[in-house]
Amino acid sequence: MGFLGKSVIAGMSIVFLAACTPKIVQQDKSSSTKVNSEMYRFISSLMSKMTIEEKIGQLNLLTGGDAVTGTTVNSNIEQKIKNGEVGGFFSLSTPQKIRKAQELAVKEARLKIPLIFGMDVIHGYKTTFPIPLGLSCSWDMNLIQKTARIAAEEASADGLNWTFSPMVDVSRDPRWGRVSEGNGEDPFLGAEIAKAMVKGYQGDDLSKANTIMACVKHFALYGASEAGRDYNTVDMSRQRMYNEYLLPYKAAVDAGVGSVMTSFNEIDGIPATANKWLVTDLLRNDWNFKGFVVTDYTGINEMVDHGFGNLQEVSAKALQAGVDMDMVGEGFLTTLKKSYQEGKISMQEIDRACRLVLEAKYKLGLFEDPFKYCDEERARTQIYTSENLKFAREVAGKSFVLLKNNEVLPLKKQGTIALVGPLANTRENMPGTWSVSTDLSKAISVKEGLENILGSRAKILHAMGTNLLDDAEYQKRATMFGRDIPRDNRSNEVMLKEAVNLAKKSDVIVAALGESSEMSGESSSRTDIKIPQNQQKLLEELVKTGKPVVLVLFTGRPLDLTWENQHVPAILNVWFGGSQTGNAIADVLFGDVNPSGKLSMTFPQNVGQIPLYYNHKNTGRPLEGPWFQKFRSNYLDVTNEPLYPFGYGLSYTKFDFSEPRLDKDNFKAGEKVQLSVTLSNRGKFDGEEVVQLYISDMVGSVTRPVKELKAFQKVFLKSGQSKEVKFEITEDMLKFYNSELQFVSEPGEFKVFVGNSSSSVKEAKFRLN
């Protein structure tokens, strides 16, 4: 039985492929077959000359030390390369450094096998784009693909040929810090982004010098860790996996991703890195994945602490499960030969892993030219260009989500503006987490962005107002990796008074508050997802002045903004926008760009509602009608509703939707239903709106979500313009995995919803016969 087969991706995407996803170029089959046979012969010949030590060496991925993302570093690297004990490096960059390492491999090692060089190129390279959660809020697949394309061009110009991206873990828990690196809570939106990112990185020919191999991660279910605590246990039914979590990984595989990274968590009681069902049965056999599988940082070694065996045992289990490359931990390098000699693993298993790593290098063209990525002229001319920075500014503006606006925004480019807050003048925190290659000192701060766009037309008064956090030790943890915000050692009262006095002299207050960039990301889980208390106190005092207040919110996760929503007249969520954050913020604040971002993850009213997501299921006692009702599924102290729902985001203009129109109200397999809706821009500004289509299966053989995103289009309309937006509904869009894990559609009644968020929709009904 196929699992999440091709019909899922094709069927669910056909509705809006032209509108949302660039066409994927298909390689000629005869040409592909010839290349594959030549590759097979070449690698078979090479492997026939390799010793067991050299084969195992190809499975060893070491860190070069430029940007370490874990707690372990490697030693005696040069000798290991000469001995043929290294397959590749990550976190080593620049053509000069990579050429030096590559020369050791191809000139001094016995078989002269080139190395592969990877890096965490997550949301841009030197030119940095918004954090992935922010980028997903653009709902613009062409835009997202281009960010990956530019990242690949810059990274490859700096000597790299492999990225550990995209991360596509579905997550519904904003306590988890790594929601900042993903695409939110919805598997369908995540799948579309996964395809766009893979296509952007890899292009249509991996052997080209300006493409890099993608690595989809973290396989699998990493975003569902218990309590939102990083690296924690995951436990869920197969039915939930199939229907709610696995689709984005499968979409990346179908898009041709070259490599897959296993996750830190366990699945069905077995760590993912040694889970044969996951890596072999599902990924290779059911999904037909042909690339190689790499662990996460010391993922094999960490299975010892899982209680899964000693290093030799867990290394053997990982290889037997289907893992091909060991990142940093060197468990493969130091134990596999012994396991083979003891009959615990086979040469066939070693050969499988070695072949897949060598095939990746062959596809990248490294055997033909090991130094193809070591072009110093490209490094000088194709990285951090003015053209790339211009695009980064555009992308950032499209990622921002306007959460509230009581006719305060856009601001006028005149008068006196009080710019207040610990995040108002920190370049280092603008790129966001996992921007390991960017030059933090070159990012544009909020203060600089306002100054750039205003010039002498308005006066800016600046005060910090408070530190990022009252707790100095907590602030150290929240500003690691060069993101320091120097502390003001004056008392809170003195700082607050200074900020309030400036605010009273202004016409409008811009408060740059929220999280620092390292308050989200890996190992940055939080139990309190409010704005830090000292910052909220500052905000309260600013609101008391009676002046218009705009909260420019920095965050890498959905926050509890209940108080802010009740009291602050305007809230612009800017996530962390990358290299051009400050300029992009100014563009939106002053109306040069009309915000069009839509949330890809629900904002709760408080942390007690978590996990809270739009595509939940009903209970047997759903709340119908007003809150509160005894013996219904609701809370005593707060409604079931989110503060801001999935798909939500305001604009400076007003969009209206007509009632959805269907060309038929029933159809059968093989037929289609056409839905059309008229979108009208009734406001004073030109703008973009995301038209979202959701479907609800009213009766199923297993319980079904209240609604599921199945299609969307991002539409630009001038002020006063209207447009008919069309979708096609197919049987494949109605399919799901039943209790036997068969991918089926079932006859019956369906509702279709169209609107500009998951909660603001108009509906129609149809029937599948």
Residue 76's pLDDT band (cuts 50, 70, 90)? confident
Average pLDDT score over residue span 520-549: 98
Residue 32's pLDDT band (cuts 50, 70, 90)? low
Residue 309: other Cβ atoms inside 10 A: 14
Contacts made by residues 667-670, CB under 8 angstroms, sequence distance 24+:
667/731, 667/766, 667/767, 667/768, 667/769, 668/768, 668/769, 669/731, 669/745, 669/768, 670/731
DSSP-assigned letter for residue 625: S
Where are the strands (E) in 164-268, listed by range?
215-219, 259-262, 266-267
Residue 767 bridge partners (DSSP): 666, 749
- What are the DSSP calls for 29-94, one per residue? HHHHHHHHHHHHHHHHHHHHT--HHHHHHTTEEEE-SSS--SS----SHHHHHHTT---EEES--S
CA–CA gap between residue 80 and residue 78 (Å, rounded): 5
Residue 213 bridge partners (DSSP): 162
Task: Please name the helix (run of DSSP H) or strand (run of DSSP E) that holds residue 403, with its range, or none.
Answer: strand 401-405
DSSP-assigned letter for residue 178: G
Q: Is 33 exposed, middle or buried (0-12, 13-18, 19+ CB in 10 A)?
A: exposed
Residue 129's pLDDT band (cuts 50, 70, 90)? very high
Whether the predicted pLDDT of 27 surpasses 50: no
Token pair, residue 642, equals: 């989110």
**Phi and psi angles of residue 232, each rounded to the nearest 5 degrees, phi first:** -80, 175
CA–CA gap between residue 342 and residue 741 (Å, rounded): 39
Cβ partners under 8 Å of residue 213, min gap 6: 116, 161, 162, 163, 201, 202, 206, 258, 259, 360, 363, 364
Q: Write down the pLDDT at residue 24.
A: 30
Cα angle 432, 203, 64 (rounded to 5 degrees) comes to: 50
Arithmetic mean of pLDDT over the chain: 94
**Phi and psi angles of residue 692, each rounded to the nearest 5 degrees, phi first:** -110, 135
Residue 624: other Cβ atoms inside 10 A: 8
Q: Write down the pLDDT at residue 520.
A: 98
Residue 33's pLDDT band (cuts 50, 70, 90)? low
Cβ partners under 8 Å of residue 34, min gap 6: none
428-458 residue pLDDT tens: 999 999 999 999 999 999 999 999 999 999 9
Q: Write down the pLDDT at residue 12.
A: 33
**13-22, 98-107, 243-252 — which is least confidently predicted?**
13-22
CA distances from 7 to 11, 241, 730 (A): 5, 18, 11
CA–CA gap between residue 189 and residue 197 (Å, rounded): 12
Residue 36's pLDDT band (cuts 50, 70, 90)? confident
Task: Please name the helix (run of DSSP H) or strand (run of DSSP E) that holds residue 722, with its range, or none.
Answer: strand 722-730
Return the percentage of the chain with pLDDT > 70, whole number.
94
Contacts made by residues 21-27, CB under 8 angstroms, sequence distance 24+:
21/141, 21/142, 21/192, 21/195, 21/196, 22/141, 22/142, 22/145, 22/196, 22/199, 24/195, 24/199, 24/204, 24/255, 25/204, 27/204
The answer to whether the CB of 179 falls within 8 A of the CB of 231 is: no
The one-letter code for the residue type at 351 is D
134-167 residue pLDDT tens: 999 999 999 999 999 999 999 999 999 999 999 9
SS3 464: coil
Name the nearest CA neighbour of 671 among 529, 546, 769. Answer: 769
4-16 residue pLDDT tens: 433 332 333 323 2
Q: Pseudo-torsion of CA 353, 358, 363, 365, nearest 10°?
A: 160
Residue 21's pLDDT band (cuts 50, 70, 90)? very low
Q: Write down the pLDDT at residue 68.
A: 41
Average pLDDT score over residue span 736-762: 97
Average pLDDT score over residue span 105-128: 97
Whether the predicted pLDDT of 562 surpasses 60: yes
SS3 148: helix
The answer to whether the CB of 449 falls within 8 A of the CB of 439 is: no
Whether the predicted pLDDT of 74 surpasses 90: no
The one-letter code for the residue type at 355 is R
CA–CA gap between residue 143 and residue 394 (Å, rounded): 9
Whether the predicted pLDDT of 125 surpasses 80: yes
**Does residue 26 or residue 527 have the better pLDDT?**
527
Whether the predicted pLDDT of 69 surpasses 80: no
Determine the distance from the C-alpha atom of residue 60 to the mean position of all C-alpha atoms in its chain, rounded to a whole number: 27
Residue 64's pLDDT band (cuts 50, 70, 90)? confident
Name the nearest CA neighbour of 585 among 572, 598, 570. Answer: 572
CA–CA gap between residue 459 and residue 417 (Å, rounded): 6
**Active-site entry in 254, 296, 375, 484:** 296
257-296 residue pLDDT tens: 999 999 999 999 999 999 999 999 999 999 999 999 999 9
Determine the distance from the C-alpha atom of residue 599 to the mean position of all C-alpha atoms in its chain, rounded to a whole number: 13
Residue 744 bridge partners (DSSP): 736
Return the percentage of the chain with pLDDT > 90, whole number.
93
pTM of the complete model:
0.94
154-201 residue pLDDT tens: 999 999 999 999 999 999 999 999 999 999 999 999 999 999 999 999
Residue 35's pLDDT band (cuts 50, 70, 90)? low
Whether the predicted pLDDT of 22 surpasses 70: no
Token pair, residue 753, equals: 């919803």
Average pLDDT score over residue span 77-85: 94
Residue 381's pLDDT band (cuts 50, 70, 90)? very high
Is 296 a known active-site residue? yes
611 upstream amide cis, omega within 30 of 0: yes
Average pLDDT score over residue span 488-493: 96
